[in-house]
Amino acid sequence: MIAALVVLLLFSPLSFIYGRYKARGLKPNHATLRARLIALLPMPLFFAVCMAVAIVWENEEAARRMAELRGEGAASALDTGNGVLDGLLTLARWFGQLELLLFVVAIPYLLGAAIAGVLLVLDDQNRIDLAAPSVSADDQTSDEG
């Protein structure tokens, strides 16, 4: 519990910066809130599913070891018997394990996507304004010159 709070505390600023950037990028490209949220969903969903598969596999691996010590057999929920599905689950597990190892990248990305979703909803309700920052006259002259 404390580790989760520390992770949230450490990664919140980076997550918020990424979430605001992502929400500002989605706003002009998609007309409705539904389209923005759907455009935001695929990659974080992929990361979350891969992470869940890796966590389930690790838990089953520990249970399988305990069952072997007791002399019992244990079946895996991730063993489907279908070669293609087993291959996809293995790839998802590998990617999820890599993601768990590189949580410094994965956690801010997932939190940032959640923050972007919240910001998009708040912007749609006119509680905040996600307009891009205005460019000052000094910035325009330095870009032109």
Q: Tens digit of pLDDT per residue, the chain (145 long)?
A: 788 788 888 889 999 999 999 999 888 888 898 999 999 999 889 998 999 999 888 888 888 888 778 887 766 777 777 889 888 988 999 999 998 888 877 888 889 999 999 999 999 998 988 876 555 656 666 555 5
Nearest to 130 by CA among 22, 2, 3, 14: 22
Nearest to 101 by CA among 50, 44, 60: 50
**Phi–psi pair at 136, nearest 5 degrees:** -80, 170
The helix-helix angle for 103-124 and 33-40 (nearest 10°) equals 180
